[in-house]
Homo-oligomer: A and B are copies of this chain.
Amino acid sequence: MEELAESSRYQSQKQLAIRSAASVFAEKGFHGASTKDIAERMGIKQGSLYYYFKSKEEALGEVCLFGIEDYVERMKSIGSSDQPFETKLMATITSHLTSYRERNEALKVHNDERLYLPEDKRAKLKELGSRYRQQLEKIFEEGARTGALRGTIDCHFAAQAVIGMCNGWGDIIVREPELDLFDLIQKCTDLVLNGFIERRKTRRDGSDAVEQQRTIKSNKD
């Protein structure tokens, strides 16, 4: 009688509260956003907001964690699916980029405002992020085992680089609603798989021509 009351109009405002907070945090940053701003966006008075959150930090916490579990879960199911490496990679990139459009404010906040979170939530968020990265790392490791990847690939690096690149598109995706997300997903996947350089030229010597990757001259020091 008190656990789940989905049917009534009661309780239904909590999600609106989280979304309002997310949107104001995204716009003004955590400290720039006042509880008055959030309440007004939600259509209530400043004091009333404390019915939903017992502090501003808690509001940020709920915003940051809102839906993130699902997101990590999705990553996990991609990893354990039966698809070839290329497909898993593309699915990951799809999931990551798409989520920016689906829940833009929340993710933007998640990226920028971690540091204002109370310690426990920050730890949880860090752990979820780490789980997410490890999941992707496993996909790369499997790709390496099955020979889909070049042997020299550092899987830890690879996972981090892909996540970084995807996050780099986050702001742009949020700012430019007309951007063709599917096109972007394909290009990102293509970059990660194939890189940018041409490989037309065939070897002149009779060697095995196992690798045609170009190496780059070090210009260190």
On A, residues with C-beta under 8 Å from B are: 27-32, 85-87, 89-91, 94, 112-113, 115-116, 140, 143, 147-154, 157-158, 160-161, 163-169, 172, 182, 184, 186-200, 202, 209-220
Report yes or no: A149 in contact with B219, Cβ–Cβ below 8 A: no
**CA distance in complex: A147, B86 (Å):** 26
The chain B residue with its CB closest to the CB of A163 is B168
Report yes or no: B214 in contact with A193, Cβ–Cβ below 8 A: yes
Report yes or no: A199 in contact with B172, Cβ–Cβ below 8 A: no
With a cutoff of 8 Å between Cβ atoms, the chain B residues found around residue A199 in the complex are: 150, 199, 211-213
With a cutoff of 8 Å between Cβ atoms, the chain B residues found around residue A32 in the complex are: 30-31, 115-116
Report yes or no: B213 in contact with A193, Cβ–Cβ below 8 A: yes
Report yes or no: A29 in contact with B115, Cβ–Cβ below 8 A: yes
Report yes or no: A86 in contact with B216, Cβ–Cβ below 8 A: yes
Tell me which of B28, B112, B195, B209 contacts A195 (CB under 8 A).
B195
The chain B residue with its CB closest to the CB of A165 is B165
With a cutoff of 8 Å between Cβ atoms, the chain B residues found around residue A172 in the complex are: 160
A182 → chain B closest CB, angstroms: 6
With a cutoff of 8 Å between Cβ atoms, the chain B residues found around residue A167 in the complex are: 164, 167-168
Report yes or no: B160 in contact with A168, Cβ–Cβ below 8 A: yes
Tell me which of B89, B116, B148, B150 contacts A29 (CB under 8 A).
B116
